[in-house]
């Protein structure tokens, strides 16, 4: 099997899905599916396409999946990784991001960045001189959505023509990127959220332009009773994203009616036919087993839904690795 790594992305950064053509995004998903098959069959042991490359992981926020997926993807292909946490580097504190970018770019072949305002990622990409990959900013989480699309395609065999309902904080990084990715894939997208947590007009407008191009739609609903009707993918995320912890009580009050439970899954109308799956980028508050939920119980999704056979959250988590590998190979090696 010859993998097509020549997607016109060599030397490019990836900060938002909007930077990719629709075809490039879909080809990255297909490449990830092929890379997964290769790993399952053990053939990846012959793959060392990134031998001699050194990758830097700059994380200003916590991570389990993104960090580990990037590390394993790099190791599978022969690259080394250096992890720099918030306390490890000067980055914007004792040194400008621009200066840190120029130093890291002299030493590393690629940089994965997780942090706060998206502008920080842009400055890093403008000055590093090597590909910079967005591992989550306050506004966007593009690598997550590549894995989500891979999971949906693996399950349904197609993307175009499906319907995704995202229920929860309708203006966070995951929702913004999911809306964009679905629109680019020709998937109907419903953002079901409280009015106070609706997406910005600019994010909506860009997604609607992509949806129009692909014959699909992007809508916003504030009614969890009806928004999920007919959806094939029910998606939620935490109600309080990293960096917003001070808004915890306020968010709980706003989002309680938007919890994904079995009644909501039934309202999709697709449970009996097996045409609905549940996705969550994780980490998820679905039980009392975390410090946050010990007293208050499940938040954005019930344990019953999270643990149900139609919940594909761990396929989704695994696919973070295959999609990040696809992104690194196409931007570092190319054709």
Q: Measured at the alpha carbon of residue 321, what is the angle toward residues 316 and 327, in degrees to the nearest 5?
A: 115
Residue 189 host element (H or E) = strand 188-192
Q: How far apart are CA 264 and CA 127, in angstroms?
A: 46
- What is the size of the binding site for ligand CP (CB under 6 A)? 9
- Report residue 84: phi and psi, to 5°: -120, 110
Is residue 206 part of the annotated active site? The answer reads no
Catalytic residue among 12, 118, 141, 251, which?
141
Per-residue tokens: 64: 């389990």
Closest CA to 65 of 333, 315, 331: 315
Q: 64 is in the binding site of which of ligand CP, ligand NVA, none (Cβ under 5 to 8 A by kind)?
A: ligand CP
Q: Does 242 bind ligand NVA (CB under 6 A)?
A: yes
Q: 237 is in the binding site of which of ligand CP, ligand NVA, none (Cβ under 5 to 8 A by kind)?
A: ligand NVA
- Binding segment for ligand CP (CB under 6 A), chosen from 3-11, 58-66, 189-197, 285-293, is 58-66
**In terms of CB distance, is 25 or 136 closer to ligand CP?**
136
Is residue 127 part of the annotated active site? The answer reads no
Q: To 10 degrees, what angle do helices 22-40 and 142-156 make?
A: 70
Pairing of strands 188-192, 54-59: unpaired
Catalytic residue among 280, 281, 286, 322, which?
281
Catalytic residue among 18, 76, 191, 237, which?
237
Closest separation between CB of residue 176 and ligand CP, Å?
14
Contacts of 317 (CB under 8 A, 6+ apart): 65, 147, 282
State which of positions 194-253 bind ligand CP (CB under 6 A): none
Binding mask 12-51 for ligand NVA (x = CB under 6 A): ----------------------------------------
State which of positions 134-193 bind ligand CP (CB under 6 A): 136, 144
Contact present, 178 and 201 (Cβ < 8 Å): no
Is residue 231 part of the annotated active site? The answer reads no
Is residue 247 part of the annotated active site? The answer reads no
Q: How far apart are CA 268 and CA 234, in angstroms?
A: 8
Closest CA to 190 of 25, 256, 198: 198
Is residue 320 part of the annotated active site? The answer reads yes
Catalytic residue numbers, as ranges: 114, 141, 144, 237, 281, 320
Q: What residues make contact with ligand NVA under the rule CB under 6 A?
A: 136, 172-174, 237-238, 241-242, 281
Q: What residues make contact with ligand CP under the rule CB under 6 A?
A: 63-66, 136, 144, 281-283
């Amino acid at each position: 099997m010859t993998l097509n790594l020549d997607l016109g992305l060599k030397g490019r950064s990836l900060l938002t899905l909007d930077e990719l053509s629709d075809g490039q995004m879909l080809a990255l998903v297909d490449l990830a599916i092929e890379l997964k098959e290769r790993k399952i069959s053990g053939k990846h042991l012959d793959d060392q396409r990134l031998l001699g490359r050194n990758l830097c992981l700059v994380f200003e926020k916590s991570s389990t999946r993104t960090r580990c997926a990037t590390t394993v993807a790099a190791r599978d292909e022969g690259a080394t990784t250096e992890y720099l946490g918030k306390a490890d580097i000067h980055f914007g504190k004792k040194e400008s991001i621009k200066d840190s970018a120029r130093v890291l770019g002299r030493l590393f072949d690629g940089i994965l960045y997780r942090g706060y305002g998206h502008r920080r990622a842009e400055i890093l990409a403008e000055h590093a001189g090597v590909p910079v990959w967005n591992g989550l900013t306050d506004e966007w989480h593009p690598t997550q959505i590549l894995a989500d699309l891979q999971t949906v395609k693996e399950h349904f065999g197609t993307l175009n023509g499906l319907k995704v309902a995202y229920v929860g904080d309708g203006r966070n990084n995951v929702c913004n990127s999911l809306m964009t990715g679905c629109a680019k894939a020709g998937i109907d997208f419903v953002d079901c959220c409280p009015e106070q947590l609706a997406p910005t007009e600019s994010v909506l407008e860009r997604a609607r332009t992509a949806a129009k191009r692909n014959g699909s739609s992007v809508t916003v609903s504030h009614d969890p009773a009806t928004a999920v009707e007919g959806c094939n993918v029910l998606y939620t995320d935490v109600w309080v994203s990293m960096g917003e912890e001070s808004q915890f009580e306020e968010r709980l009050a706003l989002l309680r009616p938007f919890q994904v439970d079995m009644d909501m899954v039934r309202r999709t109308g697709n449970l009996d036919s097996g045409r609905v799956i549940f996705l969550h980028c994780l980490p998820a508050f679905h039980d009392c087993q975390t410090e946050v939920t010990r007293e208050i119980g499940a938040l954005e999704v019930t344990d019953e839904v999270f643990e149900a056979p139609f919940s594909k959250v761990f396929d989704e988590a695994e696919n973070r690795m295959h999609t990040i590998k696809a992104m690194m190979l196409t931007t570092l090696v190319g054709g």
